[in-house]
Structures are given as C-alpha cells and as structure tokens.
Amino acid sequence: MSTDAEMATYGKAAIYLRKPERERIEAQSAPFDAKSACYVADSKELYLKATILKKDGGKATVKILGTEDERVVKEEDVSPMNPPKYDKIEDMAMMTHLNEASVLYNLKERYAAWMIYVKLFA
C-alpha cells in the first residue's frame, strides 16, 4: 500500500481513494477474530457484520455487531469477513475473502465515506 506521501501525487482526489495512513494503522491494530467474524444476509441492509456464536446442523447462530440482536440463519447465508485492515480498501483484489458480501459491503462503506473510486485492474 502507498504511504500518505505517495498518495499526494493524486492531489485533491487522494481523499476519495484511500483512508489516511493513521486510520489504516488503527484498523490493523483493532481486535479481530477471523473464525467468528462474518457477514449475514439481511433483507433491508443486504449484509450485516456479525459474530458467529455457534453452528449446528446447517444453521448458525450469529450476533449482529452493534446490536443485541441474535439470529439463527442458514450456514450458506454466512460469509467470512475480512480483517479490519481491508475496510474501505480501494483494490478489492487484495481482500483475504473476495466474496459478494465483502465486495458489496466495502463498496457501501466507501460510498458512504465519499471514497467513490476503486481500482478495477492491476
């Protein structure tokens, strides 16, 4: 990844491409459990961040992050989540888990932060 100094070559557009280096470093140090962090399908938001509490017989019990809501969902409706260092990343090919939930959630988060440009090809 480029440093803030290298991003300066993009001028005013840099803020629409990548989070500042300080935010990226903070994200890398955030606690993250790769075995339980996931996205679950949702009829309103499309995908929500969640934590897997247990799996049993093709079903998973998950807790939606930021709420007290627990849901029982089909295991196929659960997608693995990328570590926080990939939040709002512009080159989504770098993601550990390149799945529909990860891509769409990343695009939604980038759009909400006015980071509207992404890298499509290497």
pLDDT of residue 3: 66
What letter would DSSP give residue 29? Answer: T
What letter would DSSP give residue 83? Answer: P
Burial degree of 118 (CB within 10 A; 0-12, 13-18, 19+): middle
Runs of H (alpha helix) within the chain:
4-7, 21-28, 100-112
Residue ranges per structural domain of the chain: 4-112
pLDDT of residue 61: 97
In tens digits, the chain (122 residues) has pLDDT values of 556 667 677 777 777 677 777 877 776 777 889 999 999 999 998 999 999 999 999 999 999 999 999 999 999 999 999 998 888 888 888 899 999 999 999 999 888 888 887 776 55
pTM over 0.85: no
pLDDT of residue 24: 72
Q: How many angstroms separate the CA atoms of 104 and 110, rounded?
A: 10
Q: Does domain 4-112 have CATH number 1.10.10.10?
A: no
